[in-house]
Structure 1
Amino acid sequence: MILQFSLILLGILLRVAGYHFDLSSFYNQKFEYVTPFTSFDNLIEAVHLMSHGTSPYGGSHFHLPPIYLWLFRWVDQDSYSNWGLRIIFILIDLICCLLLFLIIKQTLLQQKNKMLKQKLERILPVAISSIYFLNPFTITSCLVYCMGNFTRLYILLSIYFAMNANLVLTTFVLSLAAYTEVTPVLLIIPMILYCIKQRSQLFKSKLNISKLNINKNQEKEKEKEQKQKEEKEEKQKKVKKNQKQKKEKKTKQNNNKEKQQNNSKIYLQWFFGLFLFFFWWALLLILSQLMFNSNITNIKTLTKDPNFFQHFFSNSHYFTFLKHTYYFLLNITDLTPNIGLYWYLLTETFVVFRQFLVFTLQFINVVGLIPLTLRFHSYPLFLLAIITSSITILKAYPTLADFPFLFCLLVMQPKLLENTRYRTFFIRGFQVVIGLLSPFYKIWIQDGTGNANYLFGISLSFSFAEILVLMEMIRSAMIVITNEKDKKKEKNSKPYYISTPNKKLHSKKDK
């Protein structure tokens, strides 16, 4: 506990020191941490335009939903030195760190292997949470006021609520993540799977606790009753032989009914979870339209208006809001250089084939969702980590702050770390690639001695290294699954004996 508190204090002090020495103005111009979607300067400009009565989506800079305009309506150009804003972003990182600690601790408690529990229960939660909180990439994203921190917070909150089997809060928080970015919609399937699994485990644990809390006096009375019953049963053995067959038939029928009821309950949970998610998302969109249609103070007067629905749908800003947020992320209109791969591929392709390429790149995650869920449906937390990592790798506007978040999600289950290979190779490779990103950008943009192939080559190697890590984790997960299946087969298999007939073999001569 003291170690965790000291590490948290150190992370807060590093962020406060970065703000004190004004490092945010230096890192605010770095392309590794600032993208057209996550830029805080774009939000300041949008708030300034909104205060003067013009549309914040009139230009091509601001791409966040309207609720963020209402949350940060007090922001101005001098807000970089405002300690209220700094405390908000420090608190976001601190909550993410604590959520990672709690999630990993609960996953370790659910482990059946006691040796792993004793070894990793003290070390692993503190290590992974400190890797995220003390990472230089997360610290710089906090200094730059990266708006991508909100999506990471929403995803971790949804995982925590799903671990506690709270379907309402998981869907609500995940709808907030899908409201800011479209791609977290794909996480609804593993989240509902995780909620269903945790709910069944909680129900089993409650039953076990209730059985253990039976009094000793009741057990003694039961033992006496059992002795009396045994004496009676010896007399009634002949009568019960005929009744056993009838009971077996009834039990089979009851088991089939119970299975059908359980399946119907699971289907209801799926339907309820999907309905809640899309309900929250639609509610957020309607709220954003109301905020965008007029000021938040005039919503009461709008609802009393008899022509409310006409004003609601007739406003042209409704279409610009969707165009500049979701359509911008899916169509990838802004091609400023970043860590991702889309900016180079789309600049090099012909205009005729641009829409086809964009559709195929965005559809990769949707296609991969079906086989992954079929293979890892019994391991929903790992499935969630795979889908989030694939989303971050194939993101249109990624940042370096996404990398530690991806690493922490993949390392949540300690069983997978035992079967991984090439650990030192991956560590050294990431160090070299990340170190060469800013020099190659400077050679091309500032000095003018290179070209776009420098930056694209190093960003391609960075994404390729991330894909290799993901493939290695999937391989180790497959090994763990096969080992568990083999153990179950060994337990269920009964010993058998080869019986040979006791007959003497006679030869023709004896005959």
Structure 2
Amino acid sequence: MDSLVFMEYALAGLIRFWLLCSDYRQTVADRVEVSTPLNSWKRVTEGAFLYNEGINPYDGDLFHETPLGLFVFKYMIQRLSQWLGVIFIICDLLTAHLLYRTACIYMKELIEKQTLEKSSYAKDTQGLLLRNEDLKLSPIYVASAYLFNPYIILNCVGQTTTVFTNLCLAATYLMMVKGQQLPCCFALAMATLQALYPAMLVVPASLYIAKKNTCGMSDRCSQIYSPWATCGLFACVLFFLLYFSSQLSGSWTFLHSTYGFILNVPDLRPNIGLFWYFFTEMFEHFRPLFICAFQINAAFLYLVPLTLRLHEEPMLLATSLTALTAIFKSYPCLGDVGFYLALLPMWKHLFNYMQQGFVVSCFFIITSVLGPIVWHLWIYSRSANANFYFGVTLAFATAQIFLVTDILFAYIKREFSLHFGLQREVNGKAAKLVLE
């Protein structure tokens, strides 16, 4: 298995390197589905240039990275410019490996949990149980789903800063399943510093760490790993990073150009999200109301109900929140979508119980093909308009919503059947519940 994974990494690296050296690199980098005002490397380069010329890059409406990101990216541009493509490839491969390690640990935990609870399962549920091959195959599928996902490859070739956000998120997931509180909070704080929305993951992370570390501990030790302690530690680390960023920039004004830009959505250039078209048509005096409504929907609306239902499965909770954020955030890109898609093979055992798989697959393929076509018709041929492109992005978002709800329903249905069996009575007659 290790040799197979190594070959996958090598092949994925070669594919990325070939595309980065080809004439398609700039074409990919200019695509609105790949680059947004928040993650465009072209904007990073211009921001670093302004900073070197003694001009504050946050004075205009061009640069939206944090001062810490500006410092790191400026160093990369000045000292490692000839190795930039290699750095992006290495970060992408490292992200895949972190997800692979996460899947290995998580699948092992699922098998152990199944062994402990097997006595409480119904007698006719043998076909629902995890098998040993799932322990070996699911991590490989996770790595493959990241390494060879077209959305992720385009994200890397376009050299977007989402590559580094995904790396921080992958580190967060790995530290979470390992139960390492401080490294998890630091990785999550780094992801939040860059993209804001990952802050929601502190809830499943705190639940997971508390669940993993408090078993068999004394009350005093368990308080260290309690959910509230993890949330407090995350807040402290995030504040330290923000303070450090303020010291680098000399003031706190960068908050308006970073988090203020994410929350207020002043740039309405088209992307794969839902904000741009709606607020293009919005009357200005209604804008604050709907900005609040859209941001609450993107960040907080699903947090409480999903946490109440999935508090026993923090990993599925974290993946669901990551997916919903990628759908509803103000400036999404294909790299965000590809990241959570790579996590889904950890629930490969649920795929047979999903009912919308074919429809969702068709939606993904059709919208991925139609998006660039409709964009060309709108911008270059001028034989279409914004409604056409927004229709494609709306269908793409709908497909993602169907995918998330379908896998959650499959999980609930399987858990119910494990404990109550597949046999049912309909009108007083025995009937078997078919999950496929």
TM-score range, shorter chain: 0.7 to 0.9
Is 1:280 aligned to 2:237, yes or no?
A: yes
Larger radius of gyration: 1
Contact 1:109/1:117, CA 8 A, preserved across alignment: no
Unaligned runs of 5+ in 1: 205-257, 294-316, 488-511
Equivalent residue of 2:14, what SS?
helix
Equivalent residue of 2:34, what SS?
coil
Partner of 1:109: 108
For normalisation by structure 2, the TM-score amounts to 0.88
Task: Supply the RMSD in Å over aligned alpha carbons.
Answer: 2.1
User: Which of 265, 276, 290 is 1:343 aligned to?
Assistant: 276
Contact 2:374/2:388, CA 8 A, preserved across alignment: yes
Letter in 2 for 1:169: P
Equivalent residue of 1:5, what SS?
helix
Provide the C-alpha distance between the structure 2 equivalents of 1:89 and 1:77, rounded to a whole number of angstroms: 16
Displacement after TM superposition at 1:118 (Å): 2.0
Partner of 1:69: 70
Partner of 2:374: 440
Provide the C-alpha distance between the structure 1 equivalents of 2:292 and 2:141, rounded to a whole number of angstroms: 40
Displacement after TM superposition at 1:78 (Å): 12
Decide which moves more: 270-279 or 448-457: 270-279
Contact 2:100/2:142, CA 8 A, preserved across alignment: yes
Partner of 1:388: 322
Decide which moves more: 114-123 or 474-483: 114-123
Letter in 1 for 2:130: L
Letter in 2 for 1:57: Y
Partner of 1:88: 87
Aligned length, in residue pairs: 404
Pairs within 5 Å for 1:2-151: 2-74=3-75, 82-110=81-109, 111-112=111-112, 113=114, 116-151=130-165
Letter in 1 for 2:105: Q
Letter in 1 for 2:296: F
Provide the C-alpha distance between the structure 2 equivalents of 1:43 and 1:95, rounded to a whole number of angstroms: 22
Contact 2:13/2:89, CA 8 A, preserved across alignment: yes
Provide the C-alpha distance between the structure 2 equivalents of 1:123 and 1:481, rounded to a whole number of angstroms: 22
Partner of 1:192: 206
Pairs within 5 Å for 1:467-506: 467-486=401-420
Partner of 2:122: none
Displacement after TM superposition at 1:283 (Å): 0.7
Call closer, same or farther: CA 1:134–1:435 in 2, change over 3 Å. Answer: same
Provide the C-alpha distance between the structure 2 equivalents of 1:401 and 1:148, rounded to a whole number of angstroms: 6
Contact 2:181/2:225, CA 8 A, preserved across alignment: no
Call closer, same or farther: CA 1:284–1:422 in 2, change over 3 Å. Answer: same
Provide the C-alpha distance between the structure 1 equivalents of 2:396 and 2:248, rounded to a whole number of angstroms: 40
Provide the C-alpha distance between the structure 1 equivalents of 2:241 and 2:76, rounded to a whole number of angstroms: 22
Contact 1:191/1:380, CA 8 A, preserved across alignment: yes
User: Which of 194, 212, 227 is 1:180 aligned to?
Assistant: 194
Contact 2:48/2:74, CA 8 A, preserved across alignment: yes
1:110-143 CA-to-partner distances (Å, cap 9, x unmatched) read 2145773322233221122112112222122111
Is 1:265 aligned to 2:222, yes or no?
A: yes
Contact 2:356/2:403, CA 8 A, preserved across alignment: no
Pairs within 5 Å for 1:203-214: none
1:475-505 CA-to-partner distances (Å, cap 9, x unmatched) read 1121133234437xxxxxxxxxxxxxxxxxx
Where relative contact order (Cα < 8 A, 6+ residues apart) is larger, the structure is 2
Pairs within 5 Å for 1:150-189: 150-189=164-203
1:206-263 CA-to-partner distances (Å, cap 9, x unmatched) read xxxxxxxxxxxxxxxxxxxxxxxxxxxxxxxxxxxxxxxxxxxxxxxxxxxx9xx48x
Equivalent residue of 2:347, what SS?
coil
Provide the C-alpha distance between the structure 2 equivalents of 1:166 and 1:274, rounded to a whole number of angstroms: 13
Is 1:405 aligned to 2:339, yes or no?
A: yes
Displacement after TM superposition at 1:33 (Å): 0.5
Displacement after TM superposition at 1:464 (Å): 0.5
Moved over 4 A (4+): 75-79, 112-115
Provide the C-alpha distance between the structure 1 equivalents of 2:78 and 2:362, rounded to a whole number of angstroms: 40
Displacement after TM superposition at 1:155 (Å): 1.4
Call closer, same or farther: CA 1:200–1:479 in 2, change over 3 Å. Answer: farther
For normalisation by structure 1, the TM-score amounts to 0.75
Displacement after TM superposition at 1:77 (Å): 9.6
Identity %: 27
